[in-house]
Amino acid sequence: MASENVYVEHCKGVNGLDKVILREIRGCSAEVYLDGGQVTSWKNEFREQLLFLSSKATFKPPNAIRGGIQICFPQFGTIDSLEQHGFARNRLWSVDPDPPPFPANTSHRAFVDLILRHSEEEVKIWPHRYECRLRIALGPGGDLMLTSRIRNTNTDGKSFTFTFAYHTYFSVTDISEVRVEGLETLDYLDNLKNRERFTEQGDALTFESEEADFCVEKGWTSRCCRVEPLG
Question: What is the full DSSP assignment across 66-114?
Answer: SBSEEEEBS--TTSSSSSTTBSGGGSBPEE-SSPPPPPTT----EEEEE
Report the nearest approach of ligand BG6 to the CB of residue 57 (Å): 10
Q: Taking CB under 6 A as the rule, which mask of x and - marks residues 25-64 in contact with ligand BG6?
A: ---------------------------------------x
Strand partners, 223: 216
**Residue (178 or 224) nearer to ligand BG6, CB:** 224
Please enumerate in sequence order all residues whose Cβ is within 8 A of that of 47, keeping only pairs 6 or more positions apart, or say none. Answer: 27
Q: Which stretch binds ligand BG6 (CB under 6 A): 27-35, 77-85, 96-104, 131-139?
A: 77-85
Say whether residue 78 binds ligand BG6 (CB under 6 A).
no
Who's near 167: CB < 8 A, 6+ residues apart? 69, 70, 71, 72, 76, 85, 89, 224
**Site for ligand BG6 (CB under 6 A): which residue of 50, 146, 224, 227?**
224
Q: Is residue 218 at the binding interface for ligand BG6, with CB under 6 A as the rule? A: no
> Which residue, 87 or 126, has its beta carbon nearer to ligand BG6?
87
Does 191 contact ligand BG6 by CB under 6 A? Answer: yes
Binding-site member from 84, 153, 171, 176 for ligand BG6 (CB under 6 A): 84
Q: Per CB under 6 A, does 77 bind ligand BG6?
A: yes
Q: How far is the CB of 224 from ligand BG6 (least distance, A)?
A: 4
Query: Distance between the two ends of the chain, CA-based, in angstroms?
Result: 30
Kindly state the number of chain residues that form the binding site for ligand BG6, as judged by CB under 6 A: 8
* Least distance CB 145 / ligand BG6 (angstroms): 22
168 binds ligand BG6 (CB under 6 A): no
Q: Which segments of the chain are extended strands (E)? A: 8-12, 18-23, 29-33, 38-43, 69-72, 94-95, 110-117, 130-138, 144-152, 165-168, 187-190, 196-199, 212-218, 221-227
Rounded Cα–Cα distance for residues 223 and 200 (Å): 14
List interacting residues with ligand BG6 (CB under 6 A): 64, 77, 84-85, 191, 213, 224, 226
